[in-house]
Chain A
Amino acid sequence: MDIKFSKDNIAFEKEINDLDRLALDFTSALDKCKIKYVIISGYVAILFGRSRASEDIDLFMEKIDYPKFLMLWEELEPNFMCINTSDPKEAYTEYLSNNTAIRFSKKGEFVPNMEIKFPKQELDFWSLAHPIKVIMNKDVLVISPLELQIPFKLVLGTEKDIEDARYLYKLFKERLNSELIDQFVRKLKIGEKFRKYLS
């Protein structure tokens, strides 16, 4: 794997798959509306080569007001549909504003889909405040720092999550900020799991 790391950027080339295409198409609407986001969870491992399928791609977007959400909705409308509701007002007030995720899929498909949430916990806001730009071929996706994603996968704790954490950690061990990982491991109280599965 040929991959270049710099402070806030990771650059590499790959053959785009359907999940990558979904992420790129959706986030291009966010970019057009100037809405900040970070991709989190399983797709981060898939982006960097883990060979497994996924039903969804999880993403935090910054808290926005309804007019801006409507702008995003209209930008998405030609190609995407909201699975939860066809009413943008309901999507915003009943779901997003109540800290409930909404899902968008390509029109005519149910999976895979984008699962969108507003940040709720301190960790979510921290992710949005420390975005990592991934330059894939000539396109850009923004992810949450690996130093948080890896320990957080251990918190989630299913076998799939532990496998994702191990994959990312073993792949990028030499490039990660080990002090930052240690801090998250301590804060999340997952030292034992970290030693058991990643050491």
Chain B
Amino acid sequence: MKLPQIDLKELEKAKEKNFKERLEFIDMYVDWIKKTPNLQWSLQQKKIIDKK
């Protein structure tokens, strides 16, 4: 099987970009949770955490 060419520098850049986007998501999530009633955010959190 022929494997694709892998550009490790490109991969590192993609990893950094992905992390930056995740940090930006954290900021959006904080903005959302600050203005969302406790019952609403905690029910959504429960759905994620209780999923086994």
Contacts and interface: CB of A to CB of B under 8 A. Distances in A.
Interface centre among B27, B39, B41, B46 (most CB of A within 10 A): B46
A168 to B, nearest CB: 9
Interface residues of B, number: 25
A17 B49 contact: yes
Contact of B26 (A12, A14, A19, A163): A163
Interface in A24-49: 46, 49
B30 interface: yes
Contacts of B42: 14-15, 17, 49
B33 A17 contact: no
Contact of A51 (B19, B39, B48): B48
Interface string A124-146: 00000000000000000000000
A1 B33 CA distance: 6
B44 interface: yes
B33 A171 contact: yes
B52 to A, nearest CB: 8
Contacts of A12: 38
B38 A2 contact: yes
A162 B27 CA distance: 13
B45 to A, nearest CB: 5
A17 B19 contact: no
Interface centre among B35, B38, B41 (most CB of A within 10 A): B38
Contact of B45 (A2, A17, A170, A171): A17
Interface of B: 19, 22-23, 26-27, 29-30, 33-39, 41-46, 48-52
Interface of A: 1-3, 12-19, 46, 49-53, 159, 162-163, 166-167, 170-171, 197
